[in-house]
């Protein structure tokens, strides 16, 4: 097995472990909070776990082909992740409030 595939497997296992730890620990933390979160914590953790796995897997595969473009690929992936997160999770809250110019 190549080093690239080994790194992808190790990274995805770490992301999966952190996802499970976060899902198990976070509800206990929010039980004590005065204000519960407005968005789904499970959805947020799942989104970031999938996005991290996709971005890093793509970067590892791109590194074998064009190693000088990996930094640009990482930046594009992060900006896309930020944009998708905003549209998926925060657009609902923005539509509830009317926009006014005054």
* DSSP 8-state symbol, 86: I
pLDDT at 99 over 60: no
Give the containing element (helix H, strand E) for 23. helix 3-31
pTM for this entry: 0.79
Q: What is the spatial distance between Cα 31 and Cα 34, in angstroms, rounded to a whole number? A: 8
pLDDT at 56 over 90: yes
Please check whether residue 80 is in contact with residue 47, taking contact to mean a CB–CB distance below 8 angstroms: no
Q: Which residue has the higher pLDDT, 91 or 75?
A: 75
pLDDT at 102 over 70: no
- Compute the average pLDDT of residues 58-87: 92
Token couple for 89:
């999770």
Where are the chain's structural domains? 3-26+38-95
Token couple for 46:
């799942």
């Amino acid at each position: 097995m190549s080093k690239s595939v080994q790194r992808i497997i190790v990274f995805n296992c770490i992301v999966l472990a952190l996802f499970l730890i976060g899902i198990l620990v976070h509800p206990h933390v929010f039980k004590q909070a005065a204000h519960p979160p407005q968005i789904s914590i499970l959805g947020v953790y799942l989104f970031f776990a999938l996005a991290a796995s996709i971005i890093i897997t793509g970067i590892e595969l791109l590194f074998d082909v064009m190693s000088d473009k990996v930094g640009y690929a990482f930046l594009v992936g992060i900006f896309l992740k930020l944009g998708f997160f905003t549209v998926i999770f925060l657009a609902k809250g923005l539509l509830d409030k009317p926009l006014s110019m005054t």
